[in-house]
């Protein structure tokens, strides 16, 4: 094989075998006029489309642009479905299992997506994208897939240094790739390394191999190409790391700021709650104090009214109190009353006087401060009440000629 190197692209060329097999050379030659016609027609349509897009309404222009493209070399198909079918067919045809006499083998971990998504994933991961364009009818394809692509050293190298994408050139997605970033295969098998660096205008071709190549040769070419682009990759990774660190720092600062705001808000809420609790306690205390003052004033009012009532009663009873009889009168009845403060007051009544007269006498005493009370005799024990026993004479009440009564408050 003859190798040539240009700029950052390394191209290894064996014999320039076209896409179709040797048996279809005549058909390929005969198809040249048709391809020229299609190319001219396509160019004319693109020019017309550019003119019409400036004239036609935007809604119609969008519908025209949304129509599926017409390609030569493959039908319009779902790129994800095509990628999955390629991977399944590749593994089924070229990967050996443990039962094989030659031993088990593996294949590159081809991404099950479109080549555009694969380029985006390589950009995100800051890795090279290894591209394999599969020409199933080419005579070198099977041997290249088995001996080179499925070689354990190649598989390990790709797993460490790149993401892998493969496509069958008979499908539209792989066919469209043959115009991206300088990917212009003139012979098959065809592999390439693409770099989709951040900040670049688009993916760039780093290395391409056209024609069959053994594992050692492929590894040598890829190692050299990656080494030449190492500074670019490391710079991209450094920029990514710097951005990630800056983002993490901003996130930490934002989180700290939000935490500080939340802490301030919590302190303010706690302070407001404390102030509200203090206000509630103060209002409760003031209400209780006001209620206590009102109750005290009411008690004072009632006490003042009670004392005034006692004073009026004392004066009234003093004016109407029956005259005291002589102690040596044969009908005299001496009644002694023991008051709550321990003092004794006595008065001589006539035995015909009523118990109510004794109550009137007690009502005139300064020591008496109750409105309702009873008078109790010990021997025999009897409780005299104003309402029930007021009309009983002292003789009938057993208080003649002398009696001792105890004052008992009924308030």
Residue 70 has a pLDDT of: 39
pLDDT for 14 beyond 50 = no
Contact 287, 308 (CB under 8 A): no
- Whether 400 and 394 have beta carbons less than 8 Å apart is answered as yes
28 CB-near residues (< 8 Å, 6+ apart): 18, 20
pLDDT level of residue 76 (50, 70, 90 thresholds): low
Asked if pLDDT for residue 51 goes beyond 50, the answer is no
Cβ atoms of residues 145 and 218 within 8 Å: no
Q: Are 128 and 162 in contact (CB under 8 A)?
A: yes
Element (H, E) at 162: strand 162-168
Average pLDDT over residues 329-348: 93
Which residues are CB-neighbours of 207 under 8 A, at least 6 positions away?
Answer: 9, 10, 11, 192, 193, 221, 222, 224, 225
pLDDT band at 203 (very low <50, low <70, confident <90, very high): confident
pLDDT at 282: 94
| Mean of per-residue pLDDT scores for the chain | 82
Query: Span 179-197, mean pLDDT?
Result: 85
C-beta separation of 341 from 409 below 8 A: no
Cα-only R_g, the chain: 60
| Cis peptide bond prior to 86, omega within 30° of 0 | no
Answer yes or no: is pLDDT of 39 > 60.
no
Taking only the tens place, the pLDDT of each residue in 132-187 is 999 999 999 999 999 999 999 999 999 999 999 999 999 988 888 876 767 888 89
Report which of 215, 210, 208 is spatially closest to residue 193, judged by C-alpha positions.
208
Instruction: Please give the pLDDT value at position 233.
Output: 76
Cis peptide bond prior to 353, omega within 30° of 0: no
Instruction: Count the neighbouring beta carbons within 10 Å of the beta carbon of residue 17.
Output: 19
The pLDDT, as a whole number, for residue 176 is: 85
* Unique residue bearing structure tokens 């003649």: 400
pLDDT greater at residue 260 or residue 379:
260
Closest CA to 340 of 376, 293, 316, 296: 376
CB-CB contact of 131 with 180 (8 Å): no
Per-residue pLDDT for 44 more than 70? no
Distant-in-sequence, close-in-space partners of 386: CB < 8 Å, separation ≥ 6: 356, 359, 374
Give the span between the Cα atoms of 300 and 295, in whole angstroms: 8
Instruction: Band the pLDDT of 84: cuts 50, 70, 90.
Output: very high
| Cross-strand bridge partners of residue 19 | none
Q: pLDDT value at position 101?
A: 53
Task: Reply yes or no on whether the pLDDT at 200 is more than 90.
Answer: no
pLDDT one-digit tens code per residue, 55-74: 555 544 444 343 334 344 44
Mean pLDDT of 296-323: 93
Band (236; pLDDT cuts 50, 70, 90) = confident
Per mean pLDDT, which range of 6-10, 124-128, 251-255 is the poorest? 6-10
State the Cα–Cα distance between residues 232 and 195, nearest whole angstrom: 10
* Distance separating alpha carbons of residues 31 and 286, to the nearest angstrom: 106
Grouping H, G, I as helix, E, B as strand and the rest as coil, residue 391 is coil
Q: What are the residues whose beta carbons fall under 8 Å from the beta carbon of 219, sequence distance 6 or more?
A: 153, 154, 157
Q: At what angle do helices 58-66 and 32-55 cross, to 10 degrees?
A: 160
pLDDT band for 6, please (50, 70, 90 cuts): very low
Q: 100 pLDDT band (50/70/90 cuts)?
A: low
pLDDT in tens, 238-257: 777 888 888 899 999 999 99
pTM (2 decimals)?
0.48
> pLDDT band at 320, cuts 50/70/90?
very high
Locus of tokens 């519908």: 63
Q: pLDDT value at position 83? A: 94
Q: What is each CA distance from 348 to 322, 351, 365, 392, 407, in whole angstroms?
A: 10, 9, 15, 17, 18
């Amino acid at each position: 094989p003859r190798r040539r190197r240009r700029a950052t692209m390394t191209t290894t060329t064996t014999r320039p075998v076209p896409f179709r097999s040797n048996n279809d050379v005549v058909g390929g030659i005969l198809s040249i006029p048709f391809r020229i016609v299609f190319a001219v027609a396509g160019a004319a349509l693109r020019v017309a489309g550019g003119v019409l897009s400036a004239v036609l309404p935007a809604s119609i222009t969008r519908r025209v642009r949304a129509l599926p493209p017409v390609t030569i070399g493959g039908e319009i198909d779902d790129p994800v479905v095509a990628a999955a079918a390629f991977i399944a067919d590749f593994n089924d045809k070229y990967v050996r299992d443990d039962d094989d006499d030659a031993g088990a083998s593996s294949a590159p971990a081809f991404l099950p997506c479109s080549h555009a998504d694969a380029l985006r994933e390589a950009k995100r991961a800051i890795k090279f994208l290894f591209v394999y364009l599969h020409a199933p009818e080419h005579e070198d394809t099977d041997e290249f897939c088995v001996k080179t692509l499925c070689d354990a050293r190649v598989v390990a190298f790709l797993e460490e240094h790149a993401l892998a994408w493969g496509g069958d050139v008979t499908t539209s997605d792989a066919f469209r790739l043959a115009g991206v970033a300088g990917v212009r295969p003139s012979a098959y098998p065809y592999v390439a390394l693409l770099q989709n660096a951040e900040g670049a205008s688009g993916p760039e071709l780093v290395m391409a191999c056209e024609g069959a190549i053994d594992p050692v040769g492929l590894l040598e070419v890829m190692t050299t190409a990656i080494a030449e682009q190492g500074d670019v990759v490391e710079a991209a990774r450094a920029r990514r790391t710097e951005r990630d660190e800056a983002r993490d720092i901003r996130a930490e600062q934002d989180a700290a700021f939000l935490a500080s705001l939340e802490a301030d808000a919590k302190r303010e809420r706690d302070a407001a709650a404390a102030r509200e609790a203090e206000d509630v306690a103060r209002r409760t205390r003031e209400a209780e104090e006001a209620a206590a003052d009102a109750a005290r004033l009411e008690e004072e009012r009632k006490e003042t009214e009670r004392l005034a009532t006692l004073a009026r009663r004392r004066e009234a009873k003093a004016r109407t109190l029956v005259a005291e009889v002589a102690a040596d009168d044969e009908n005299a009845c001496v009644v002694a009353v023991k008051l709550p403060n321990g003092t004794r007051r006595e008065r001589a009544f006539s035995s015909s006087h009523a118990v109510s007269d004794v109550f009137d006498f007690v009502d005139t005493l300064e020591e008496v401060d109750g409105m309702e009370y009873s008078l109790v005799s010990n021997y025999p024990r009897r409780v005299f009440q104003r309402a029930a026993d007021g009309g009983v004479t002292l003789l009938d009440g057993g208080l003649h000629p002398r009696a001792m009564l105890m004052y008992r408050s009924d308030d």
